[in-house]
Amino acid sequence: MNSEDVKEGHGGALPSPDLVWENATTPTAARFGDVYYSRDGGLAQSRHVFLAGNDLPNGWQNKETFCVAELGFGTGLNFLATWELWRRTRAPGSRLHYVAAEGFPLTGAELGACLAPWQEMRPRGEALIAVYPEPQRGFHRVFPALAPHERGEVTLTLLYGDAAEMLTQLEAEVDAWFLDGFAPDKNPQMWSPAIFTQMARLSRSGASAATYSVAGDVRRGLDAAGFEVMRAPGFGGKLEMLRARFRGSAARPSALQPWFARAPRAGARGHAAILGAGLAGAHTAAALARHGWTSTIIDRHDAVAGEASGSPRAVMAPRLTAAPAHDGRFYAAGWRFMLDDLARNESRVGRETGGSLQLGMEGGAERLAEIAAAGPLPPGFLMPVDAEQASDIAGVRLTRGGLFFPQGGWIEPHTLCAALAGPSDKRFGTAVVSLVRNGLRWRVQDAAGATIVDADAVVFANALGMKRFTDAAWLPLEGLRGQVTLTATTPTAEALRAALLYGGFVTPAHRGVHAVGATFDAVATDTTNVEVSVEDHPRNFAGLADVAPGLLAPASVIGGFAAVRCMSPDHLPLVGPLPDRGDYVKDFAELRHGHPWARYPNARYQQGLYVLTGLGARGVVSAPLAAELLASHITGAPWPLERDLVNALHPARFLVRELKRRAI
C-alpha cells in the first residue's frame, strides 16, 4: 500500500482496510496483512502497552486537561480503554482530549463486531458508534458520552487521512502518544521520520510515548526526534516493548507561517465575557461550557438574538464548492458538526426537518452537478436531483433541479440561541463600552465605568458592534441589511414540504405562514434598530417566481423582519485570537519582499481577546464549528479543524494579505 492512497480527492471517502477475521476471533486488515489487536487479548494489550506504558493513570493526576494522541484509531479499543480508566481516576471536572489519526476507517458496524468480545466496554462502544463519523477525509470532532450531561468531558478528534500529513495540519499539546500502526515492516508510513518530527512538534515537555514495537528504526527515529527511549517487558508473546519520554523542546518548524502562529491559551479553566447574544455568542458560550469554562453573555438588547440572529426562520444548507476550496470544505465540516450539535438540542429548538433543496439558477445547474460529483459530503447527506425529483420532494411544481440535503430544513435561530445561552450568566440591556486590563484578566465596563464582569477571556461576538472598540475596529467587516418577508400560505403553497434555496429562500408553511427572503443591501453603520421596509417585500418574490411559478405572491404579505448581517470580504467568518495590529505591522512589514518565513517572529496577539464574527447569512451552519474552534483556541484544546482551514478563518488574514501587497 502507498500513503498516496489516502491523499485522493476533495473530502472524498477514504479507502477501506478490508477487514477479515482470522479464526473468527482476531480482526485483521487484508490491505496490510496484520492484526488490529493482539491474539493474546486486545484489551489486556491496550492496558499493558498503552496505558501502563504511558504511566496512566498517574500521568493525568491533578491535570485539568490531558491529551492523548494515537496513530491509528483502528477499532477504537485503545480509546475505550483510555476513556474507561480516565473516567474512574480523573481529577474532578477535568477534560480528556483524544486525538487519533486513521487513514482506512472501519465502518461503525465493523467497530461493533471488533469490540464485541468485551462486554464491559459495551455501553462505551455504543456511545462511540453513535457519534462515529463517516469515512470522509479531514478532521472530525465528536463528543462520545454515556449520558447527556457528560457530553464534552471527552473530546475525540479523528484525523481522517494519511497520518504524517494529518499531523502537519494539527495543533495540540500532547501528553501521551500511543504508537499503534501495523507492524513497521508492513506499514512503514506509520513509523517514518516525518511522523517522529511531528510528534516532537506537538509534544508538551515531558510527554510520554509507548508502543508494542521495538524495531531498530522506531528506536532510532524516536531518539533522533528528542525522545529518550526505554525498553520494558512486552505483552503476551512479546518479550519487550518501548516506552519513551520527550526530552527535546519543540522548536518552531520553518514550514509554519509565523503570522498565523497559535496564540497562547487563555487557560484550561476560566470565565469568559462574551459580547453579543446572537448565534456567535450563544454557540461560544455552549462550546466553552463543554470545555469546562463559565461565561457571562452581555448584550445591549433585552433578550437573545436581538439582531441578525433574530430572523424568524433560517434555512439550513451548507455552501459547498466543487473544488476543494476553503469555504466549501469549511461548510461541509460545519454541516456535519451542526447536525450532531442540533441533535443534542432538538427538543428545545423550533426546527422542521423536511430537507432543503438548493435549486440551480441560470447557469448554476452545471456547478451544482459538479459539486455533487466531487462528493464533499458522504452519501446520504447530499443528493443531486432533477426538476421532477425536486418537485416530488418539495410537494410543489419546481422548474429546476439541484441538490437535496435530506437533513436540512429550517430553524428558528432565536430559540436555538436561547437554548444554547440558557445555562450561562447573562447581562442583557447592557452595553459594554470599555475593556480595561486588570493583571492577566480583563475588566468589562459599561458606559458609567461600572464593572460588568472580570474575565479571563473576552470574546467579540457582537458583529459590527466590535467596530466601537479601538483594538478591534480595524477588522474589515461589512454590514449587509437583510429583510425577510412573512406571507400567508395558499392552498398551493401549503403543500410545500422542503425549504427552497435559489439565491433567495422560502420555507414551508408553519402555522399558516411562510418566510421568503432575503434582501442584501450594503450599509455602513452599526445600527440597533432596523425598520422593515414595505417597498422591499416584492423584491423577495422575484427569484421565487422563476423556480416555483405561482407558489406565492406579494399580495399575501403579512409582515417582515429586517436586520444587518455582518460579513467579511471573503464571506468566511473571522474566528480566533485578536491580532495586535500595531505589532503585526511592525513584525511583518517586510512581508511583500518574500523573505524566508524563519526570519519573522511568531505573531503577537491581544492576550485574552478573541473574535467570532462575519457569519453572514449562514450562521446556523458555521457558528457551531466556529465556536468549537474558538473554544479550542481559548482553552488550548486540540484544533478541531485542519490548519489550512483554521488559517482561512484567522482574523489576521486580511491584514497579512495587505502586508504582502504593500507596506502599511
Q: Which residues bind ligand SAM (CB under 6 A)?
A: 3, 6, 17, 29, 36-37, 70, 72-78, 101-104, 162-163, 180-182, 187, 189-190
Closer by beta carbon to ligand SAM, 72 or else 310: 72
Cβ-contact 192, 217 below 8 angstroms? no
**C-beta closer to ligand SAM: residue 103 or 543:** 103
To ligand SAM, the closest distance from the beta carbon of 71 in angstroms equals: 7
How far apart CA 446 and CA 278 sit, in angstroms, is: 19
Amino acid 356 reads S
As beta bridge partners, residue 404 has 357, 383
Q: Show the CA angle centred on residue 88, arms to residues 207 and 340, nearest 5°.
A: 80
Other C-beta atoms closer than 10 Å to the C-beta of 243 total 19
Nearest to 310 by CA among 564, 541, 480: 564
- In the complex, minimum distance from the CB of residue 74 to ligand SAM, in angstroms, rounded to a whole number: 3
Shortest reach from residue 440's CB to ligand SAM, in Å: 39
Q: Which is nearer to ligand SAM, 212 or 588 (CB)?
A: 212
- DSSP-assigned states of every residue in 201-236: HHEEEEEEEEES---HHHHHHHHHTTEEEEEEE-ST
Closest CA to 75 of 24, 28, 140, 141: 28
Q: Which residues of 515-536 are buried (b: 16+ CB within 10 A; e: fewer)?
A: bbbbbbeeeeebeeebeeeeeb
Rounded least distance, CB 29 to ligand SAM, Å: 6
**Shortest Cβ 70–ligand SAM spacing (Å):** 6
Strands 425-428 and 294-299: parallel
> Closest CB to ligand SAM among 180 and 307?
180
* Nearer to ligand SAM (CB atom), residue 37 or residue 404: 37
> Are residues 107 and 379 in contact, defined by beta-carbon separation less than 8 angstroms?
no
Q: How far is the CB of 211 from ligand SAM (least distance, A)?
A: 10
Is residue 564 a contact partner of residue 482, using CB atoms and an 8 Å limit?
A: yes
**Considering the complex, what minimum distance in angstroms separates the CB of residue 310 from ligand SAM?**
45
- Least CB distance from residue 477 to ligand SAM, whole Å? 39
Nearer to ligand SAM by Cβ, of 36 and 405: the residue is 36
Residue 191 backbone phi and psi in degrees, to 5: -130, 30
Per-state percent for the chain, helix, strand, coil, to nearest 5: 35, 25, 40
Given the complex with ligand SAM, which of 86 and 405 has the nearer CB atom? 86
For ligand SAM, the closer CB: 17 or 226? 17
Give 166 or 563: the residue with its C-beta nearer to ligand SAM: 166
Q: Which is nearer to ligand SAM, 78 or 169 (CB)?
A: 78
**CB 18 to ligand SAM: min, Å:** 10
Which residues in 545-658 belong to E strands, given as ranges?
557-567, 574-579, 605-613
**Which residues contact residue 661 at a Cβ distance below 8 angstroms, ignoring those fewer than 6 apart?**
592
Tell me the closest approach of the beta carbon of residue 182 to ligand SAM, in angstroms: 5
Give dist(CA 428, CA 302) in Å, integer: 5
Under the phi-then-psi rule, with left for phi > 0, alpha for psi from -120 to 50, and beta for the rest, what region is 138?
left
CB of 34 to ligand SAM, least distance (A): 7
Where do we find the cell 459538479?
A: 370
Beta carbon nearer to ligand SAM, 127 or 464: 127
Positive or negative: CA dihedral 326, 328, 331, 337: negative
Q: Measure the CA–CA gap between 341 and 360, rounded to whole angstroms.
A: 29
